Amino acid sequence: MSSTTPLLIVVSGPSGVGKDALLCQMKDLGYPYFFAVTATTRPQRPGETDGVDYHFITEAKFTDMIERGELLEWANVYGNLYGIPKKPVEQALVEGKDVIVRIDVQGAATIKRIAPHASLIFVSPPSMEELQRRLRERKTESPADLELRLKIAQREMETLPSFDYVVVSQKDGMDVAISQIEAIITAEKCRRRGLRFTVRLGGEPLNAEPWNLEPIDLPEVFLDGKEKIPGAASNQPAQ
Ligand code: 5GP
């Protein structure tokens, strides 16, 4: 168990900006974070590994997971369903690991609502032209899907001001972006020292206060958004 409260870090940004490549590189470099694997109904692309890049599941199974409350967050992105299985995230937090989730901008907004202490990082392209170039060059979408993603990208860029941090993913600049994400995590860890921050995903509190610190009266955080401690400040997500 780490000596500081584990963080929930959201890495978001428009499709095609390079979030996956960034996080993949961080995994390969052995960063000690828990990288949540999303479940999706999107067809598997060549080169993707089930259980590593995504859990590729059927729509029926996805619906079942929604109904059982097994997803931390889910969204329909470009016509496919994407969602983060709750249990592995819960387990990682119990073990004191910092968790990184990679989600689209609507998912980031949901996480912020249900876990206000989550740290939101927006991965931005250096320009819209560069984003369009990257999306076209990766050739993973059908022409219609590509057009849809390009159209939505502009709107996704407009959500940037609601994020806590921005990392610009420069062409050939992955190392810089990774070290910036690392610096953000370090800064967030320093910031949280002294805060009373209890993460709950529905069961018992997962993490107690840091030691020897004056507790500050912050509301507990509920990732399932269902429970409320009597007397605690309102921390229910907006319905
Ligand atoms: P792709 O199909 O290109 O892998 O991903 C499409 C979009 O879905 C990306 O913006 C990606 O970040 C987003 N995405 C991946 N996993 C999740 C998730 O668990 N929740 C949400 N809301 N979006 C996700």
pLDDT per residue as tens digits for the range 47-101: 999 999 999 999 999 999 999 999 999 999 888 999 999 999 989 988 889 999 9
Over residues 102-122, the pLDDT tens digits come to: 999 999 999 988 888 899 999
- Nearest Cα residue to atom 17 of ligand 1: 103
* pLDDT score, position 4: 67
Ligand 1 mutation pick, 15, 73, 77, max ligand atoms within 8 A of CB = 77
Average pLDDT value for residue range 124-140: 86
For residue 181, what pLDDT is reported?
97
Taking the mean position of all CA atoms in its chain, how far away is CA 115?
Answer: 11
Q: Which residue's CA is the nearest one to ligand 1's atom 16?
A: 103
pLDDT at position 228, please? 39
pLDDT of res. 134: 87
Q: How close is the Cα of 100 to the center of ligand 1, in Å? A: 13
pLDDT at position 43 is 95
Q: What does the pLDDT look like over 183-232, one tens digit per residue? A: 999 999 887 554 444 445 554 444 444 333 344 344 444 444 443 333 33
> What separation in Å is there between the alpha carbon of 213 and the centre of ligand 1?
38
Asked, for residue 161, whether it belongs to a domain, the answer is yes
Give me Rg for the CA atoms of the chain.
18
Residue 171 or residue 234, greater confidence: 171
**In a domain? residue 87:** no
More confident residue, 154 or 238: 154
Q: Is residue 121 domain-resident?
A: yes
pLDDT at 139 over 90: no
pLDDT of residue 201: 52
Residue 45 lies in a domain: no
CA 104 – ligand 1 centroid, Å: 5
CATH number at residue 119: 3.40.50.300
pLDDT at residue 206, as a whole number: 43
42 lines ligand 1 (CB under 6 A): yes
- The whole domain housing 30 covers 8-35+97-225
Structural domain contains residue 14:
yes
Pocket lining: 110 vs ligand 1, CB cutoff 6 Å: no
> What is the rounded average pLDDT of the residues 140-145?
81
Q: Which two tokens stand for residue 210?
A: 């840091």
The closest-lying atom of ligand 1 relative to the alpha carbon of residue 38 is: 19
* 117 within domain boundaries: yes
Q: Is residue 44 part of a domain?
A: no
Q: How much is the average pLDDT of 129-139?
A: 85
Alpha helices in the chain (DSSP H): 19-28, 59-67, 86-94, 105-114, 128-138, 143-157, 174-192
**Does the CB atom of residue 112 touch ligand 1 within 6 A?**
no
**Total domains in the fold of the chain:** 1
Global pTM value: 0.80
Q: When comparing pLDDT for 220 and 146, which is higher? A: 146
Residue 145: burial class (beta carbons within 10 Å; 0-12, 13-18, 19+): middle
Tell me the C-alpha distance between 182 and 122, whole Å. 14
In a domain, 162, yes or no: yes
Please, how many CA atoms are within 13 Å of residue 83, restricted to the half-sphere of its CB?
Answer: 23
Q: Relative to the CA of 54, which ligand 1 atom is closest? A: 16
15 pocket-lining for ligand 1 (C-beta < 6 Å): yes
Q: Is the CB–ligand 1 distance for residue 149 below 6 Å?
A: no
Distance, CA of 80 to CA of 15 (rounded, Å): 13
- pLDDT band at residue 8 under the 50/70/90 scheme: very high
**Torsion angles phi and psi, residue 227, rounded to 5:** -105, 165
